[in-house]
């Protein structure tokens, strides 16, 4: 027959094992908490070696972006067609009937005819079309597509987009010019 175990001895050994396990667990928890509680210093030491900066990478990325921007601009300019016949017309003896600027008549749908003169009114427009009926019938012009100075003194027809004006009766951004005389 197997020997009978003493219950009290068995219970004391179980309690000892449980106490030992609890002590190890408590020690591990306290050590982990101590590591978490440690805060970084408020001021950093200036004598510590600094980490290698990535300024060279940033510089290389910047150079790459500049090269890509220039390259894409060159390709865009090379492979797109101009929308108009000529942005800056060349003065010639027979300009009558020639059209300059953009062919976009959807954006520039307003038209006016008259003799082009230099000067605007109160800072609005750089040029104006002199039309029959006096100053109240003048059309004041600006242009981002055509160099209007080439047409001063000539009778022209313009296509443009009417702009809001403060003092001018009619202010137009010109996109296309046709020489009439």
Percent of the chain with pLDDT over 70: 74
Rg (the chain; Cα; Å): 43
The helix (H) or strand (E) run that includes residue 79 is helix 55-79
| Residue whose C-alpha is closest to residue 120's, from 112, 108, 129, 111 | 129
| Top-confidence residue, 34 or 173 | 173
Q: What is the pLDDT of residue 75?
A: 84
Tell me the mean pLDDT in the region 32-57. 68
Tell me the mean pLDDT in the region 109-120. 90
Tell me the mean pLDDT in the region 115-143. 88
| Residue 172 neighbours by CB distance under 10 Å | 25
Q: Is it the case that residue 101 has pLDDT exceeding 60?
A: yes
Instruction: Tell me which fold the domain 99-179 belongs to.
Output: OB fold (Dihydrolipoamide Acetyltransferase, E2P) (2.40.50)
| Top-confidence residue, 77 or 173 | 173
Q: Is it the case that residue 61 has pLDDT exceeding 70?
A: yes
């Amino acid at each position: 027959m197997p020997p009978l175990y003493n219950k009290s001895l068995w219970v004391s050994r179980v309690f000892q094992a449980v106490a030992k396990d609890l002590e190890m667990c408590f020690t591990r928890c306290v050590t982990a908490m101590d590591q978490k509680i440690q805060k970084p210093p408020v001021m950093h030491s200036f004598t510590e070696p600094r980490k290698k900066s990535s300024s060279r990478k940033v510089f290389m990325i910047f150079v790459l972006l500049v090269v890509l921007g220039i390259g894409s601009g060159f390709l865009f300019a090379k492979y797109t067609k101009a929308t108009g016949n000529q942005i800056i017309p060349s003065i010639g003896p027979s300009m009558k009937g020639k059209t300059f600027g953009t062919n976009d008549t959807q954006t520039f749908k307003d038209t006016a005819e008259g003799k082009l003169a230099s000067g605007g009114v109160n800072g609005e427009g750089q040029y104006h079309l002199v039309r029959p009926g006096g100053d109240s019938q003048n059309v004041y012009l600006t242009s981002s597509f055509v160099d209007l100075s080439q047409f001063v003194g000539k009778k022209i027809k313009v296509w443009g987009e009417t702009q809001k004006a403060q003092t001018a009766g009619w202010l137009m951004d010109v996109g296309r010019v046709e020489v009439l005389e």
